[in-house]
Structures are given as C-alpha cells and as structure tokens.
Amino acid sequence: MIRRVDIRRRPIPDRLPEGEPLIARIMASRGAEALPDYRLDRLLAPTLGGLDRAVDLLCQAIASDQKILIVGDFDADGATGTTLAVRALKAMGARQVDWLVPDRFRHGYGLSPGLVDEIAEPAPDLVVTVDQGISSVNGVARARQRGMRVIVTDHHLPGPQLPAADAIVNPNLPGETFDSRALAGVGVMFYLVMALRAGLRDRGWFEQHRQPRLDQWLDLVALGTVADLVPLDENNRRLVWQGLKRIRSGRCAPGLRALLEVAGRNLNHVSAADLGFAAAPRLNAAGRLDDMSHGIRCLLADNERQAHELAARLDELNRTRQQIQADMQALAEAQAERLADQVDGPLKGLCVFDETWHQGVVGLVAGRLADRLRRPVIALAPDEPGSDWLKGSGRSPSGVHMRDLLVDIDAAHPELIARFGGHARAAGLSLAREQLDRFRQAFGQQLETLSFSADQVLTDGELPPDRLDVATALSLVEAGPWGQGWPEPLFDGRFHVADRRIVGERHLKLTLTPVGGDQTIDAIAFNAGPLCHESLPDPLHLTYRLEVNRWQGRVSPQLNIQHLVSKVG
C-alpha cells in the first residue's frame, strides 16, 4: 500500500568515482570509491576456515566411491545450495550422491535427530549440510553415533555450542577472517565447490576425469543469494552480477528458466528483482506449503518439459500461498491497529498470533508488517492445529538485529524460548503456547531498550526532466545488481497529474508531467489502496524508481511509485 513518508536526500560525496555522473553519484553515496568491477577474477579467494578439512573429507569420499548425502534447508537458499552441491559433486566424478531436505511440518528446521533417524540404511558415509546445521548440535551427534561423518556448511550465526561435526564451514564463526560474512548458504557451498575442485586438481584427479567449469552454476548462486536477503556486499554483488549475466544469455538451469517463464519474465532482461520477486517466491512456496523437494527437483531437472511441469506446480502452490497470505495479512493488520490504539505514540514493535495461521507463511506476514511499520515484528502460528507449541518468524528493519534481539530475550528469560536462530533481518523461533503472553511481555520490554531513528526514507534526490528516459533507466539497471544493503536507486520529484485510471482494481495508472518539464511519462502505483479514489494534490510529490516498461514490443520509461512525500528533512 502506498503511504505518506518524510524523506531525506542522500548527501552528495565530495569525491565521485570516474564515470557517468549520475551513476557515479549513486555509487559514491552507497560507499563505493570506484565503479564496480564484477569480473570473476576479482572474487574473494576460498580462504574460509574449515575448507581444508572439508575438502579432505570430500576428496576421500569421491576417490573411494563413498555414499554422500546432501541435507539442505526448505527455503530458496537451501534449495539452490542443495542443487549446486549435487550438480557439482556429480560433475567432479562422485557417483553416489543423494539429497534430502527436512519437512518443515514433521522435522522442523535443520539436521534434527528425527530426520537423521529417517535416513535409510545403509547409512551414507558422509553427510553435508547446506544452509543449516550450525545449530544442529543433537542432530550432528546422532549422525555421528550412526557412523556418519558430517560436514556442516552454513551462514547463520552460531549459538553458544557448536555441533561436533568433522568439519564446519561458516563465515560467521568466531575468529573467522574471511572478508565477507554476508555469504548466503548457497554462496558458502560455492566456495566449498571452488576449494574442492582445487583440491582434486592438486591430487591429480582431473588427469583421469573431466574438470568442470564452476561458472555454470552461478545462476543458482545468484538466485539463492538474492532470495535470502543477505547484504549485497561487493563480493555478493559480483556473484549475483555474474549469475544474471549467464541467465540473460540463456545459460541457466532449465528449472530456473521455467520458473522465470511461468512468472512472465523475459530472460533477456532479467534483474535481481525478478529473481527475488518472481523466481524465489515460487520456489519458496514448495517449502512453505508442501515439500521443498518439488523445488529442488525443478532446479535439478535437465529436461525442459519436466522442468516446466514442475515449475507449473510451483506456480500453483505460489498462488495458493498468496491467498493464504492475503487472509493472514488482513488479520495481522487488524491486530496491529488494535495494538496501536492501546499505546501512546508509535509502536516500537509487534508480536502477532492467530490460531488459524499457517506456520509456513508467518515470515511473509512479519516481513510485510515490518516493512510498513519499520519496526521489529514477530508472527506466530500453531505448530499444527491445536498444538501446544507455536512456531514463529521475526523480521526487522535495518538497524535492528533480529537474532541478537532474541538472544537478549533468552538471556533475560532463560527457557522462555524453546529454540531460535537466524541472522540480522530474519529469525525463527519456537515456544510453548502457554508462554505466549510471557513472551509478548518480554519482547515488549526488550523493545523499550531500543532506540529508533526518525522514520525517514532516503532518496537519491531529483532527476531532471530530460533524464526521465529509457537510456537513464537502462543505465540504472546495468549499474546493479541492487538489493539488501545496496538499495536500488530511489528518486523523488514533483509532478502534475495529466491522467489517472484504476487497473486491476487495486493499482493506479497515472500520466505525469514533471514540474519544470513539458513531456509526459507513465507511472504506476501498485496496491495503491485509498489513492485509487482520493483526490491528489497538485503538484504531486512522490518517490519513485525509474524503470523500463516493455509491452507488446514497445519500450518506454515508467515511474514505479513507492511513496507520497509529506516533507523533506
């Protein structure tokens, strides 16, 4: 829903990188001292702690034809990382590679003892976790009791006790010196694959076996990295940029191509936003509502027809997820309004729960509320109907570390939270139903210790009327990828409304004329809410993203309206 906000324009740095002035200014305002160089030879070297031991174990397993089991996570990061691991190990000569992903509803998160006990005999010689495992102390212990060796690859923050794995690769371990702690789970796996190929090469393995190219899997790395909302530091941007380059040229997994096509995206013009808002939700729908195995099979499919059949199934699941989320969101918004009426001043955060909610969708509800309120939000649902246990997801705006917030609650109220984990912007937790009121009180007390900056939206200033064109829009796309921690350019400006109409019942289509200009430009406000019917001020001050609109062979600039501006700070 479009809302009114106060804005503050990013200051223009004294020193700008060489290059096109607009792009140079945008890059400098985000901390770049030079225009980015996304060549692969500039990628950080694989120096993560634990890689040497993990490579030794994998080289031994491959050379001895041992059974390797990849155990992933039930989100897009875990699915892409699992797919990468399976494809890469097979390409390097491993013949006995299988994969498994926990069921969100039966096993819960991670390598749990229950999941380990379901692994069929004969047990694998080596288990490799992807995007999980750092908190699976009991599950790793159970696997080793059954005679399995375990490599944990993860990027989540560790708890006070590490699992007794044979090797752990995680950029967020205490004492880790790797220069990017922001790697997603699929990124950690890509670094393990890089180190493994080098290790096999040093052992002479590729004298008898074909040595694979690693860049063929960067489409998966790009998708998982964008989907998991990890900060796009320079190293992650390089991985995503290279993955997008390959997708646009058609060099991507048939399953990823099918996911984008069922979402109506043109591969030639795919952006990071298309990965995050088109491919990832369809992939995640499997883990949220059903079984992420559907998503992994889609990404592993080499047959185009099979890939499209699986992608169509994921698209159906996503449509169901959207309806479930819409119903839950309405209830959550109503709870937020009631709670706001009970406090003086703005809410500092929110903990919402409903008996009818679906545990696979609470994270999306929390995320939508956190974006609107710009405050931490935790949404909870029953583990299953009538269960004595609740599962929840927390989301937070920048400046509030969601997992650390839960750590502080746990320290102040031991045994209140049964289990939790996550990272800066997102975390998950479990607690007994009988503890809900106590948890809400503890959450509220912890929020009182936090200070929040003024609710202002940062913009990149105004664009001159003559820069509201396709060339500028394309240059902004090419300067990406944009995402978490590296925000897509957002401009503000004043416009006269030349025409308006409602499309699709909820969206507002406008024809605008910039103040000081004489040409018109199309604009769209998605989910405009009351704006569809309200009278608009003249001139209309708004924030927008400048985009390229492609429709029936016609290419034109378009403003994607984000907010109405109340005042400039």
pLDDT digits (tens, 9 = 90+) for 379-426: 999 988 888 999 999 999 877 899 999 999 999 999 899 989 888 888
Please check the confidence at residue 455 and state whether its pLDDT lies above 70: no
Please check the confidence at residue 44 and state whether its pLDDT lies above 80: yes
The DSSP 8-state label assigned to residue 217 in this structure reads: G
Q: Give 46-64 as a DSSP string.
A: S--TTHHHHHHHHHHHHHT
Q: Is residue 260 part of a domain?
A: no
Same domain, 407 and 480: no
Q: Which amino acid appears at position 322 of this protein?
A: Q
| % of the chain beyond a pLDDT of 70 | 99
Q: What is the pLDDT of residue 341?
A: 78
Q: What is the pLDDT of residue 34?
A: 85
What crossing angle do the helices spanning 280-289 and 304-341 adopt, rounded to 10°? 80
Which residues on neighbouring strands pair with residue 486, listed in sequence order? 483
Same domain, 383 and 506: no
Cα–Cα distance list, 464 to 92, 488, 541 (Å): 53, 18, 14
Which residues on neighbouring strands pair with residue 99, listed in sequence order? 70
Q: What is the 3-state secondary structure (H, E, C) of 141-152?
A: HHHHHCCCEEEE
Q: What is the pLDDT of residue 533?
A: 85
Q: What is the pLDDT of residue 464?
A: 95
Same domain, 487 and 422: no
The pLDDT tens digits of the residues spanning 1-36 come to: 788 889 999 998 888 888 889 999 999 999 888 888
Same domain, 390 and 495: no
Question: Per-residue confidence at 542, pLDDT binned at 50, 70, 90?
Answer: very high
Count other C-beta atoms under 10 Å from residue 129's C-beta: 33
Kind plus residue range of the DSSP H or E element containing 561: strand 554-568
Same domain, 470 and 410: no
Q: What is the pLDDT of residue 179?
A: 95
Question: 167 near 196, Cβ under 8 Å?
Answer: no
Which residues on neighbouring strands pair with residue 523, listed in sequence order? 510, 559
Measure the CA–CA gap between 44 and 277, rounded to whole angstroms. Answer: 28
Please check the confidence at residue 343 and state whether its pLDDT lies above 90: no
Q: Is residue 91 part of a domain?
A: yes
Q: Is residue 296 part of a domain?
A: no
Question: Per-residue confidence at 117, pLDDT binned at 50, 70, 90?
Answer: very high
Please check the confidence at residue 504 and state whether its pLDDT lies above 90: no
Question: 549 near 557, Cβ under 8 Å?
Answer: yes
Same domain, 422 and 470: no
- Compute φ and ψ for 238, nearest 5 degrees: -65, -45
Count other C-beta atoms under 10 Å from residue 291's C-beta: 18
Q: Is residue 386 part of a domain?
A: yes
Measure the CA–CA gap between 170 and 135, rounded to whole angstroms. Answer: 12
Count other C-beta atoms under 10 Å from residue 377's C-beta: 28
Looking at 386, 418, 447, the residue that finishes a domain is 447
Question: Per-residue confidence at 489, pLDDT binned at 50, 70, 90?
Answer: very high
The pLDDT tens digits of the residues spanning 177-236 come to: 999 999 999 999 999 999 999 999 999 999 999 999 999 999 999 999 999 989 999 999
Q: For residue 423, which of 240, 260, 183 has the smallest C-alpha distance?
A: 183
Same domain, 429 and 484: no
More confident residue, 99 or 384: 99
Mean pLDDT of 75-80: 96
Looking at 211, 235, 266, the residue that finishes a domain is 211
Same domain, 483 and 441: no
Looking at 211, 230, 260, the residue that finishes a domain is 211
Average pLDDT, the chain: 93
Same domain, 101 and 192: yes
- Compute φ and ψ for 475, nearest 5 degrees: -65, -30
- Which CATH number covers residue 389? 3.10.310.30
Q: Is residue 237 part of a domain?
A: no
Q: For residue 8, which of 562, 531, 543, 516 has the smallest C-alpha distance?
A: 543
Same domain, 102 and 192: yes
Four-residue CA torsion sign, 96, 101, 107, 108: positive
Which strands sit side by side in the sheet containing 389-395, from one edge to the other? 350-353, 377-382, 389-395, 426-432, 419-422
- Which CATH number covers residue 542? 2.40.50.460
More confident residue, 167 or 14: 167
Please check the confidence at residue 453 and state whether its pLDDT lies above 70: no
Measure the CA–CA gap between 146 and 164, rounded to whole angstroms. Answer: 14
Q: Give 447-473 as a DSSP string.
A: HTT------EEEE--PPPGGG-SHHHH
Q: What is the pTM of this model?
A: 0.91
Question: 406 near 412, Cβ under 8 Å?
Answer: no
Residues with Cβ < 8 Å from 35, sequence gap 6 or more? 17, 18, 19, 23, 24, 27
Domain count, the chain: 3
Same domain, 547 and 411: no
Q: Is residue 253 part of a domain?
A: no
Please check the confidence at residue 454 and state whether its pLDDT lies above 70: no
Same domain, 373 and 351: yes
Q: For residue 418, which of 446, 448, 387, 397 has the smallest C-alpha distance?
A: 387
Domain extent for 380: 343-447
H helices of 301-349, where?
A: 304-341
Which pairing describes strands 554-568 and 3-9: parallel, antiparallel, or unpaired?
parallel
Measure the CA–CA gap between 407 and 550, rounded to whole angstroms. Answer: 47
